[in-house]
């Protein structure tokens, strides 16, 4: 049995707020769709204390979905056809020996098997990112179930890990994941984004959801200021800003780093986006690969070692002698 200490860390919501589960708000993304607003998953969080796990591990996680995740007027997989750019990504992966965990939507698993095979044959591990990447109730049980079905059809097994579209986490989601036998979730961004998520009181380190017992491996944020550590944000504000934030507030360990293909590969579809998002995605778009590689080099310099999410999961759930990076006595 793993020597893992569980303790109650915080009480996130008062009971008066619990009746607001169904509260929804119009999505800010310029679409006609809506998104669940009640987005903090747990009343209490159970911290997982495991010093061996809290080493400088970085997990590079790629969300593989249709470009712009519902922001564009039509679903497109334009980045998938940029083979030269995809080869450039592979070069970076090989040059720095990166362990990539791909969270693919069920739709990609069903309709673009070529892309899943591309990453699979180049050493990535594949987990699940919902089915349709709907932004209306992306945490619903149907999105989980249809996604798991598509994954099972492809791999003849269920996924171990899950990332919810839009990073939306709720008790409904956690219950659905547990029911499907998913072992860990990595959706929570312990930060704040207007009308999308408000997780400023959630732990920034891995924890167990008390209701489902599922292990949550949150997406990385800068400690204290909780600024998300993701390619899209680094592209927007520049790597130099992150270097400053890390110097001031420290670096998280472990670090789950999030990126998308649109962070690296410019597309024609960007011109079809609503004005705000067109501007957001324009920033640093042509330097996506340079910024990505500079980030990788920076993390290496800080002493981070790249591991798959499955290895990170094992660090938090295995007995000490079986944890990655430890030797049997
Ligand atoms: Zn996504």
User: What is the Cα–Cα distance from 292 to 300, expressed in whole angstroms?
Assistant: 13
Residue 158 CA: distances (Å) to CA of 162, 182, 227: 10, 7, 32
CA of 65 to the centre of ligand 1 (A): 6
Torsions phi, psi for 51 (to 5 deg): -60, -35
| Residue in 311, 326, 319, 325 with CA at minimum distance from that of residue 58 | 311
Taking 3-state DSSP, the helix, strand and coil percentages for the chain, each rounded to the nearest 5, stand at: 40, 20, 40
Q: Ligand 1 center to residue 51 CA distance, Å? A: 31
> What pTM was estimated for this model as a whole?
0.83
Ligand 1 midpoint to CA 93 (Å): 21
DSSP string, 80-142: GG-HHHHHHHHHHHHHTT--EEEEE-HHHHHH-HHHHHHHHHTT-EEEE--SS--SSSTTSHH
Using the structure block, give the residue that is written with the tokens 């778009």: 285
Q: Separation of 115 CA from ligand 1 center, angstroms?
A: 16
106-123 core/surface letters (b: 16 or more CB in 10 A; e: else): bbbbbebeebbebbbeee
220 burial (CB, 10 Å; 0-12 / 13-18 / 19+) is buried
For residue 15, the model assigns a pLDDT of: 39
User: In the numeric block, which tokens belong to residue 327?
Assistant: 């030797």
- Ligand 1 centre and the CA of 157: distance in Å? 22
| Helix H or strand E segment including 315 | helix 309-317
pLDDT in tens, 122-174: 999 999 999 998 767 888 899 999 999 999 999 999 999 999 998 889 999 99
pLDDT above 60 (res 26): no
Q: How far is the CA of 135 from the centre of ligand 1 (A)?
A: 10
Structure tokens at 118: 């591309």
Look at residue 67 in the predicted model and tell me its pLDDT.
Answer: 85
User: Residue 107 C-alpha to ligand 1 middle, in angstroms?
Assistant: 12
User: 42-97, pLDDT tens digit by residue?
Assistant: 445 666 666 555 689 999 999 999 888 777 777 789 899 999 999 999 999 999 99
Six-digit token string for 50? 């495991």
Phi and psi at residue 21, to the nearest 5°: -50, -40
CA of 69 to the centre of ligand 1 (A): 6
| Beta pairing, strands 100-104 & 57-64 | parallel
Determine the distance separating the centroid of ligand 1 and the alpha carbon of 12, expressed in angstroms. Answer: 26
For domain 3-322, the CATH class is alpha beta
Ligand 1 midpoint to CA 166 (Å): 6
Q: CA-CA distance, 239 to 148, in Å (whole number)?
A: 36
Asked whether the beta carbons of 66 and 312 are under 8 A apart, the reply is no
- 130 C-alpha to center of ligand 1: Å? 8
- Tell me, in angstroms, the distance from the centre of ligand 1 to residue 208's CA: 23
User: Where along the chain do its domains lie?
Assistant: 3-322
The model's pLDDT over 163-204, given as tens digits with 9 standing for 90+, comes to 999 888 999 999 999 999 999 999 999 999 887 788 999 999
**Cα 320 to averaged position of ligand 1 atoms, centre (Å):** 33
């Amino acid at each position: 049995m793993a020597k893992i200490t569980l303790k109650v860390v915080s009480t996130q919501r008062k009971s008066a707020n619990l009746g607001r589960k169904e509260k929804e708000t119009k999505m800010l993304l310029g679409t006609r769709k809506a998104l669940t607003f009640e987005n903090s998953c747990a009343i209490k969080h159970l911290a997982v204390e495991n010093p061996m796990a809290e080493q400088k591990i970085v997990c590079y996680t790629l969300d593989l979905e249709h470009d712009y995740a519902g922001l564009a007027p039509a679903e497109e997989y334009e980045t998938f056809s940029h083979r030269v750019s995809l080869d450039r990504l592979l070069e970076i992966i090989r040059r720095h020996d990166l362990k990539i965990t791909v969270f693919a939507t069920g739709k990609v698993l069903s309709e673009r098997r070529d892309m899943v095979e591309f990453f699979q044959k180049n050493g990535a591990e594949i987990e699940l990112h919902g089915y349709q990447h709907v932004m209306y109730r992306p945490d619903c049980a149907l999105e989980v179930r249809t996604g798991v079905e598509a994954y099972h059809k492809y791999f003849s097994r269920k996924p171990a890990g899950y990332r919810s579209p839009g990073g939306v986490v709720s008790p409904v989601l956690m219950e659905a994941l547990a029911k499907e036998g998913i072992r860990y979730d990595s959706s929570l961004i312990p930060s704040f984004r207007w009308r999308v998520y408000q997780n400023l009181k959630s732990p920034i380190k891995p924890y167990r959801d008390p209701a489902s017992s599922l292990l949550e491996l949150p997406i990385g944020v800068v400690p204290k200021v909780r600024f998300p550590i993701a390619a899209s944000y680094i592209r927007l504000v520049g790597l130099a800003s992150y270097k400053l934030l890390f110097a001031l507030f420290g670096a998280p360990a472990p670090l789950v780093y999030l990126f998308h293909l649109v962070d690296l590969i410019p597309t024609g579809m960007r011109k079809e986006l609503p004005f705000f998002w067109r501007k957001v995605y324009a920033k640093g778009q042509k330097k996506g690969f340079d910024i990505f590689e500079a980030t990788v080099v920076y993390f290496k310099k800080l002493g981070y070692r790249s591991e798959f999410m499955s290895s990170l999961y094992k660090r938090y759930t295995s007995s000490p002698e079986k944890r990655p990076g430890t030797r049997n006595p």
